[in-house]
């Protein structure tokens, strides 16, 4: 199994966490986003969306981090990243998607580059934009975590789930851009616990082979 990754891509970080939790061995091929290494014709032939990550497995190349995570869950069900009951699974997926759809895509490198180009955003405006969508998204997520977390160690119940896999990389980005986290004590507490787990620690950007 090969993961096309970049140490600071938060979508790749999600997949690294899941691979680590499930104890799956894999090799890493780095694509440096800042150098545009994901935009070559070769990489596009593997992943037509030209985004990171991709996972090469079973003679196929899979794209979109959430599709990869669901694949890993189906193919390597233990330990599980989704609860058993459909309603509970929907609550976990809702929290994961709040990040995957309504925070992260708005703060993607290609979007920031586009804002610099068409809206002539400078660094301050980029940083405000970045933090704005994290704060907006975390507002709802904080309430969901308060409702569904058993004891502020995991987003849902008392075990790890896809929501946790998405939260930690998003919180990494939130800190990197100095987002005010005071309104989100539950999310901060959960992240702090998750980051203490070896499976999450192994997936951190700074310990990846391609870390700058």
CA distance 116 to 94: 31
CA–CA distance from 185 to each of 140, 145, 148, 173 (Å)? 13, 10, 14, 17
Q: For residue 98, how many other CB atoms are within 10 A of its CB?
A: 21
Minimum distance between the CB of residue 104 and a second copy, rounded to whole angstroms?
8
Residue 126 within binding range of a second copy, rule CB under 8 A: no
Residue 41 within binding range of a second copy, rule CB under 8 A: no
Minimum distance between the CB of residue 96 and a second copy, rounded to whole angstroms?
8
- Give the three-class secondary structure for 51: coil
How many binding residues for a second copy (CB under 8 A)? 55
The H-assigned helical ranges of the chain are: 10-21, 41-46, 65-75, 86-102, 109-118, 123-148, 162-176, 185-195, 198-201
Residue 176 within binding range of a second copy, rule CB under 8 A: no
Pick from 74, 123, 158, 206: which binds a second copy (CB under 8 A)? 74
Residue 94 within binding range of a second copy, rule CB under 8 A: yes
Q: Which residue has the tokens 């925070």?
A: 103
- Please name the helix (run of DSSP H) or strand (run of DSSP E) that holds residue 174, with its range, or none: helix 162-176
The structure tokens listed for 15 are: 């997949």
Pick from 26, 46, 56, 64: which binds a second copy (CB under 8 A)? 64
CA distance 15 to 56: 12
Minimum distance between the CB of residue 30 and a second copy, rounded to whole angstroms?
21
CA distance 148 to 155: 7
Pick from 1, 143, 207, 211: which binds a second copy (CB under 8 A)? 143
Residue 129 within binding range of a second copy, rule CB under 8 A: yes
Minimum distance between the CB of residue 212 and a second copy, rounded to whole angstroms?
25
Interface with a second copy (CB under 8 A): 44, 47-51, 58, 60, 62-64, 66-68, 70-71, 74-75, 86-87, 89-91, 93-94, 96-98, 100-102, 104-106, 108, 110-111, 114-115, 118-119, 121, 125, 128-129, 132, 136-137, 139-144, 147
């Amino acid at each position: 199994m090969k993961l096309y990754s970049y140490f600071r891509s938060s979508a790749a970080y999600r997949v690294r966490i899941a691979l680590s939790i499930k104890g799956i061995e894999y090799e890493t091929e780095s694509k440096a986003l800042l150098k545009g290494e994901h935009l070559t014709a070769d990489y596009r032939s593997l992943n037509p969306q030209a985004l990171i990550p991709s996972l090469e497995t079973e003679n196929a190349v899979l794209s979109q981090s959430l599709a990869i995570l669901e694949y890993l869950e189906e193919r390597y069900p233990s330990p599980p990243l989704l609860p058993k009951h459909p309603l509970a699974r929907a609550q976990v997926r809702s929290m994961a998607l709040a990040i995957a759809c309504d925070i992260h895509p708005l703060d993607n490198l290609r979007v920031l580059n586009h804002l610099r180009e068409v809206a002539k955003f400078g660094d301050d405006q980029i940083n405000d934009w970045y933090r704005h969508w994290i704060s907006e998204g975390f507002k709802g997520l904080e309430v969901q975590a308060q409702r569904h977390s058993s004891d502020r160690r995991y987003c849902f119940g008392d075990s790890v789930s896809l929501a946790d896999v998405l939260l930690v990389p998003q919180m990494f980005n939130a800190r990197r851009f100095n987002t005010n986290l005071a309104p989100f004590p539950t999310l901060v507490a959960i992240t702090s616990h998750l980051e203490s787990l070896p499976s999450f620690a192994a997936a951190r950007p700074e310990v990846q082979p391609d870390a700058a």
